[in-house]
Amino acid sequence: MPDLPGMEHPEPKLRMQSIHKSFTVGGKREPVLAGVDLAVEDGEFVSIIGPSGCGKSTLLNIIAGLDQPASGSVSLDGGQDQQRLGRVGYMLQKDLLLPWRTVLDNAILGLELKGVSRRQARKQALQLTESFGLSGFEDQYPFALSGGMRQRAAFLRTMLLDQELVLLDEPFGALDALTRIQMQEWLLNLWDSMKSTIVLITHDVDEAILVSDRVYVLTSRPGKVKMVLDVDLPRPRDFEAITSLQFTSLKAKLLGALREETVKNGAETWP
Amino acid sequence: MAVEGEHLDGDHQGGLDEGRGPGRVRSGGRAGLDMFKGWQSWLPALLIVAGMVSLWEWVVAVNDIPHWKLPAPSSIGGELWQSRGMLLGHTWVTMEEVLIGLAVALVSGVLLAWLISLSRTLERVIYPSVIASQTIPIIVIAPLLLIWLGYGMQHKVIVVALISFFPIVVNTVDGLKSADPDVMNLLRTLGADRWQVFRKVQVPASLPFLFSGIKIAVTVSVIGAVIGEWVGSSEGLGYLAIRSKSQFLSERVYATVVILSLMGIGLFLIAGALERALLPWYHNQRRTTAAGED
């Protein structure tokens, strides 16, 4: 979304202002987030990247409503301090499928919790299993599925609810390299067709550039925004974009910023 | 949940912890179950039992041991057949006590486990009494129950329930606590309230544990019934055993023991079959992981 000067901006989907948070670890107060400012427009794909332990997951927990900031404000669709649980989709590296439910019944979990009848929910989910690469596996239990399929089933569960904002916390981190590339391309297509707003946390610089409209780089702990990088690569993108000159120069910028943080941090290694 | 969440980056490693099934209070039930699949797999167990019985028979015959001291397996078998009508009558009495006692144990055990899992405070209030109930020797309690409840069936049912509710409570509490906190958080982001999290995650997660508890409970329940009958009864296998002993009818004593252990084994197998039927996901998952596919 180009930022035209003078144009009246509607409220962004998500706005976070000077978010602070600290944890008490072993009796010691440890600041984790030190004033994070962040905005995500409707329909945007934004990535957050940063050194290990910079508080990325804490940030997502706050966005999802699982955790509250010590200070600062979070607004979803312009509303302040409302209940965000149930409005923001959240997906972790672990697929968190319920082992006692079949793929289909895992997918409809969110709808079921909203009070949709099982039959209706199943019907709705069945229309999507094809595009999630799960057709033929609807009645399988999760343990029988490969890692990539389980992750897609978890995606289906997240997307089926049609929540306003979807948070992805290293969703492909546990997959092998080849599956990860396939999943990234698949996610791009999915995002294109579903027009959802996504915030992705990743350790993978290539992944961040490939999928995002914007990349936020966080500093090492306590985390705050170090750099915001606009990714103006043409869409639709596929994996070949990775070798383009434009991509490489963006990657150099990102890696440079990250290296500064890791060096500052001393002991931490990157990636 | 909030502050102890500690979702600092990097601790999402490790993937799904597949191997962790219920593992606490359990007396080797899981490994033993697969023994009973397909009749060939019964063979080793049968052979061992047959070998021991033959040895017993031979020792009795060679040493000319008097039957009231140690009856030969053949004469125990003879007794089982000859007195089958009478034995069956007593068996039914004991079986009834065991089944009713188990039902009481199941209901009270699950209810207590649920209460304990509700809050830390309730856990601190209830759990100690539950544990204390197991430290009092049942043989001391049983006569008191007889005095309080009279000569009927109640005191035996209560002894059975008292002895078998404990493994059910302990296992179910562990089961309710075993639910992955990340999964519970996920449900909250899907809009679930506390009751929905309990129903959709904690309850199903606890079922394999509950079944482990039931398997222990059914085996000890038979002991409970016998103790109850010893203390005061005019029927049942425990009563028959104690009366036959005083009459030096050793064959009959052993016959009751055979029936009692068959009863325990039978109940155990039924519990295992129910588990397989009701929790197919759990059973199959265990099989695949055992085969090393994950």
Same domain, A77 and A206: yes
Is the pLDDT at B294 greater than 80? The verdict is no
Same domain, A213 and A260: yes
Q: Which of A215, A204, A202, A210 is nearest to A248 (CA)?
A: A210
Domain membership flag for residue A2: no
Residue A108 at interface with chain B, using a CB cutoff of 8 Å: no
Q: What ipTM is given for this predicted complex? A: 0.84
With a CB-CB cutoff of 8 Å, which residues 204-243 of chain A face chain B? Answer: none
Same domain, A146 and A251: no
List chain A residues with pLDDT less than 50. Answer: 1, 4-6, 267-271
Report pLDDT digits (tens) over B43-74: 898 999 999 999 999 999 999 999 889 999 99
Same domain, A95 and A157: yes
Please tell me the predicted confidence (pLDDT) of residue A198.
94
**A113:B196 CB<8 A:** yes
Same domain, A217 and A271: yes
Same domain, A95 and A197: no
Count of structural domains, chain A: 2
Where do we find the tokens 């999928």?
A211
Instruction: Write out chain A residues lying below 8 Å of B8, CB-based.
Output: 23, 32, 53, 55, 57-58
Query: Domain holding A215: CATH number?
Result: 3.40.50.300
Structure tokens at B268: 């155990």
**B interface mutation test: which of A28, A63, A85 has the most B CBs within 10 A?**
A85
Please tell me the predicted confidence (pLDDT) of residue A140.
92
Domain membership flag for residue A100: yes
Instruction: Please tell me which residue, B23 or A249, carries the higher pLDDT value.
Output: A249
Instruction: Write out chain A residues lying below 8 Å of B282, CB-based.
Output: 99-100
Domain membership flag for residue A5: no
Domain membership flag for residue A74: yes
Percent of residues, chain B, with pLDDT higher than 70: 84
**Of A143, A162, A181, which residue sits at a domain end?**
A162
Domain membership flag for residue A152: yes
Domain membership flag for residue A225: yes
**A143:B196 CB<8 A:** no
**B180:A96 CB<8 A:** yes
Q: Which domain holds residue A59?
A: 10-87+165-271
Report pLDDT digits (tens) over B176-189: 999 999 999 999 99
Into which CATH architecture does domain B81-290 fall? Orthogonal Bundle (1.10)
**A interface mutation test: which of B18, B20, B189 has the most A CBs within 10 A?**
B189
Please tell me the predicted confidence (pLDDT) of residue B273.
94
Q: Which of A109, A13, A103 is nearest to B188 (CA)?
A: A109
Please tell me the predicted confidence (pLDDT) of residue A52.
80
Domain membership flag for residue A3: no
Report pLDDT digits (tens) over B86-131: 999 999 999 999 999 999 999 999 999 999 998 899 999 999 999 9
Residues linked to residue A165 through DSSP beta bridges, in sequence order: A88
Same domain, A81 and A178: yes
